[in-house]
Chain A
């Protein structure tokens, strides 16, 4: 493999990892607050549909991204109403959200199937971007890629260095104690859910605006679920999400290259690699972390204020 091809492969790994990073970091914050939102896939695909539509109509990828985020947040608000407001089982509500999202995205995106628009521009800094091998990798990505890294850094800082982040972690650890001390359990959780929704929506918008760049029904293809697995894989630590997403992006891209190289393996088998890799990653992690789960202690438990 020549350096040029290797650079190309690395570039595609980064772009494949970006939507996973964005969606997973949002879900990580939600889960750190103690809420399991299985609706990532649904929020993501609605974000993809609406994001593409808005970018297509306005001609601006920024407006597309914002529309995707807004769409994700609207669905997340619905989820928050159910799980935080009405203490409904989070697994069931998350599944409902995904089903609604998949159906809704089909309706919303119906008029945009087959349309194409240009991907947003990539950064170009004279000389730097032209550096051999690392030039494009470091200085030639689009805004989403840089944005995702900023997002991870911001979340890492928020969780470990700010008082609000401390309160969020406390609420995810023990909502009864938090309530007794007067920390706003439900408000914090609702906001964390909204943040997760915004991220999922943006991740979806990235797929349809920059990654493909077109809208097609069902285009998220389980990435929302994989983002959920990444959160587990990261042991709920922000930077490990990046690591996991890159590994994962690597598996996806290698699989695509293997298909292109027609190694004689059936394409369907290679397409199954990401899903099998997810299961394998969850297994490896569980073997490593027996007895000592890093999950927020209150994850998934509905909170009803006691008398």
Chain B
């Protein structure tokens, strides 16, 4: 596989790209040049306009204004297929894979029409060999791990021999070890003369891989630099615009009594492609933030469902809240015991998108805040509660009581977290509270969790973000394939230790312990 080389000018050149959605300007006159063999980082906060720009480069969106040139030739990309034939490949963050198709079928789908599908298997094997990414062509995708899925995305991209590979937050679902291997693959791509457009907000990765960086904020290009010569702090300042305050966590916390105890919890998955939970045990003390790390799809959502009581079906004594055996209780009974929960997905799980904020207060607080009594709802009470959440957590919104879906990710998440924290729960279980949230909201949410623990609550934080876990947790355990490791002291543990557990190595001890 040789890469065509064009002399001179940039491989990809964007000039004055503008993208408007109604009144909203997602990209505001953005210029971007990517040269042959260059690894170019695109950094910015959630909502800065990165994904819109990437979709324009991949032909998924048409720019409202501005020009795109590939190898000096001005083009109008009619769609992703057009972009692919011009040598642009894409590795999506939320994989664009089909669960019920095989690996080979997933790859065959995007190959140019003139390519014969016979022998595809051989070519998949070739790419897998060359980039050291083992792949089984006949497996159905649903049965694969996140790392394996990403390999399909990358192999699918490389089979088209691209000149530019776009990678959108590729390490967000990987273990540190998997990330390391990904970087080896990416180095290899660079050495073959391919260009990379690397989208990330992990600045150490950008410094490690890229020699150019374009920084976006609120749809505008606000910086252009060589990230290797910048500090992570200066990059962050460019990205966010303002200084984000550090989280203030008390250094030493008094270990209180055990508030949330999970004792040898096992349950079969309910969903078609779900994960069975096996022998999970943990105890969260008052005043503590207990973290559960792990790669997506290793049983986190199943664990959340069982802990919250959205799913019932464990032994009553398998889950204890302040000593009360509650494994057989539904979520409302657990709330009445003083527990509160924040699920991962904001729209459609934590909140009903088309319901007003007031109605969304009724959603989780109907039993615990006197909002509903004798089957009747007091919307006035719910409204008052909504107002206090909005003011305490600084939720920005349009209109007095808008539908949840009209809020930005960060603001809706603040509302959802605030709704639960204002009930002063004794136990809070949160799943991925800062996923896709801007830095300011992210800091506010983490601070609120730490403060809640400081007031004597037990906080269980399920997260895939190791930075977040190390920042606010006292102890961290790792979930892998439905099993939970023993908890490590967050101050003593290293990323490598946690990373090993995330790949499943070292779980034997935990399993033995559970028996």
Q: Which residues of A contact B (CB under 8 A)?
A: 163, 166-167, 169-170, 173-174, 176-183, 291-293, 297, 307
Expressed in whole angstroms, the minimum distance between the Cβ of B223 and any Cβ of chain A is 25
Q: Which of B62-121 contact A (CB under 8 A)?
A: 79-84, 92, 95-101, 105-106, 108-110, 113, 117
B487 at the A/B interface (Cβ < 8 Å)? no
B59 at the A/B interface (Cβ < 8 Å)? yes
Q: Which residues of B contact A182 (CB under 8 A)?
A: 59-60, 79-84, 110
The 8 closest A-B CB pairs, nearest first, are A182-B80, A177-B96, A180-B96, A173-B98, A182-B79, A182-B81, A170-B98, A173-B100
Expressed in whole angstroms, the minimum distance between the Cβ of B240 and any Cβ of chain A is 23
Q: Per a CB cutoff under 8 Å, which of B52, B101, B270 touches A170?
A: B101
CB atoms of B108 and A166 under 8 A apart: yes
Contact with A along B224-251 (1 / 0, CB 8 A): 0000000000000000000000000000
A49 to B52, CA, bound (A): 51
Would A177 and B81 be within 8 Å (CB), given that A163-B108, A166-B108, A292-B272 are in contact? no
CB atoms of B109 and A167 under 8 A apart: yes
Would A163 and B113 be within 8 Å (CB), given that A173-B100, A182-B81, A291-B272 are in contact? yes
CB atoms of B52 and A297 under 8 A apart: no
Expressed in whole angstroms, the minimum distance between the Cβ of A237 and any Cβ of chain B is 13
Q: Which residues of B contact A291 (CB under 8 A)?
A: 270, 272
Q: Which residues of B contact A183 (CB under 8 A)?
A: 109
B395 at the A/B interface (Cβ < 8 Å)? no
Expressed in whole angstroms, the minimum distance between the Cβ of B83 and any Cβ of chain A is 8
Q: Which residues of B contact A307 (CB under 8 A)?
A: 21, 26, 52, 61
Expressed in whole angstroms, the minimum distance between the Cβ of B154 and any Cβ of chain A is 14
Q: Which residues of A contact B80 (CB under 8 A)?
A: 180-182
A177 to B149, CA, bound (A): 13
Of all chain A residues, the one with the shortest Cβ separation from B97 is: A177
Of all chain A residues, the one with the shortest Cβ separation from B22 is: A307
Q: Which residues of B contact A173 (CB under 8 A)?
A: 98-101
Supply 17 further A-B pairs (C-beta < 8 A) apart from A163-B108, A173-B98, A182-B59: A163-B109, A166-B109, A167-B109, A169-B98, A169-B100, A169-B101, A170-B98, A170-B105, A174-B98, A177-B96, A180-B92, A182-B60, A182-B84, A291-B270, A297-B100, A307-B21, A307-B52
A302 to B441, CA, bound (A): 32
Give the size category of B's interface with A.
20 to 34
State the majority secondary structure of interface residues on A: helix
Q: Which residues of A contact B110 (CB under 8 A)?
A: 181-182
Would A170 and B109 be within 8 Å (CB), given that A181-B96, A182-B80 are in contact? yes
Most buried by B among A166, A177, A183: A177
CB atoms of B117 and A163 under 8 A apart: yes
A57 to B61, CA, bound (A): 51
A183 to B96, CA, bound (A): 11
28 CB < 8 A contacts A-B: A163-B109, A166-B109, A169-B100, A169-B101, A170-B98, A170-B101, A170-B109, A173-B98, A174-B97, A176-B96, A177-B95, A177-B96, A177-B97, A177-B98, A178-B98, A180-B92, A181-B96, A182-B80, A182-B81, A182-B82, A182-B83, A182-B84, A182-B110, A291-B270, A291-B272, A293-B272, A297-B99, A297-B100
Most buried by A among B83, B96, B97, B272: B96
Q: Which residues of A contact B272 (CB under 8 A)?
A: 291-293
Of all chain A residues, the one with the shortest Cβ separation from B117 is: A163
Of all chain B residues, the one with the shortest Cβ separation from A176 is: B96
Q: Which residues of B contact A174 (CB under 8 A)?
A: 97-99
A180 to B92, CA, bound (A): 9
Expressed in whole angstroms, the minimum distance between the Cβ of A54 and any Cβ of chain B is 38
A96 to B21, CA, bound (A): 33
Of all chain B residues, the one with the shortest Cβ separation from A167 is: B109
Q: Which residues of A contact B26 (CB under 8 A)?
A: 307
Of all chain A residues, the one with the shortest Cβ separation from B26 is: A307
Expressed in whole angstroms, the minimum distance between the Cβ of B91 and any Cβ of chain A is 11
Of all chain B residues, the one with the shortest Cβ separation from A179 is: B60
Expressed in whole angstroms, the minimum distance between the Cβ of B485 and any Cβ of chain A is 28
Q: Which residues of B contact A166 (CB under 8 A)?
A: 101, 105, 108-109
Expressed in whole angstroms, the minimum distance between the Cβ of A274 and any Cβ of chain B is 31
Of all chain B residues, the one with the shortest Cβ separation from A291 is: B272
A167 to B117, CA, bound (A): 14
Most buried by A among B82, B98, B106, B117: B98
Of all chain B residues, the one with the shortest Cβ separation from A184 is: B79
Of all chain B residues, the one with the shortest Cβ separation from A162 is: B117
Most buried by B among A170, A173, A182: A182
A173 to B100, CA, bound (A): 7
A179 to B90, CA, bound (A): 13
Q: Which residues of A contact B109 (CB under 8 A)?
A: 163, 166-167, 170, 181, 183
Of all chain B residues, the one with the shortest Cβ separation from A171 is: B98
Expressed in whole angstroms, the minimum distance between the Cβ of A76 and any Cβ of chain B is 26
CB atoms of B60 and A180 under 8 A apart: yes
A180 to B108, CA, bound (A): 15
Q: Which residues of A contact B96 (CB under 8 A)?
A: 176-178, 180-181
A133 to B113, CA, bound (A): 48
A255 to B384, CA, bound (A): 65
Of all chain B residues, the one with the shortest Cβ separation from A182 is: B80
Q: Which residues of B contact A167 (CB under 8 A)?
A: 109
Expressed in whole angstroms, the minimum distance between the Cβ of A285 and any Cβ of chain B is 16
A163 to B117, CA, bound (A): 9
Expressed in whole angstroms, the minimum distance between the Cβ of A295 and any Cβ of chain B is 10
Q: Which of B263-286 contact A (CB under 8 A)?
A: 270, 272
A179 to B98, CA, bound (A): 12
Of all chain A residues, the one with the shortest Cβ separation from B24 is: A307
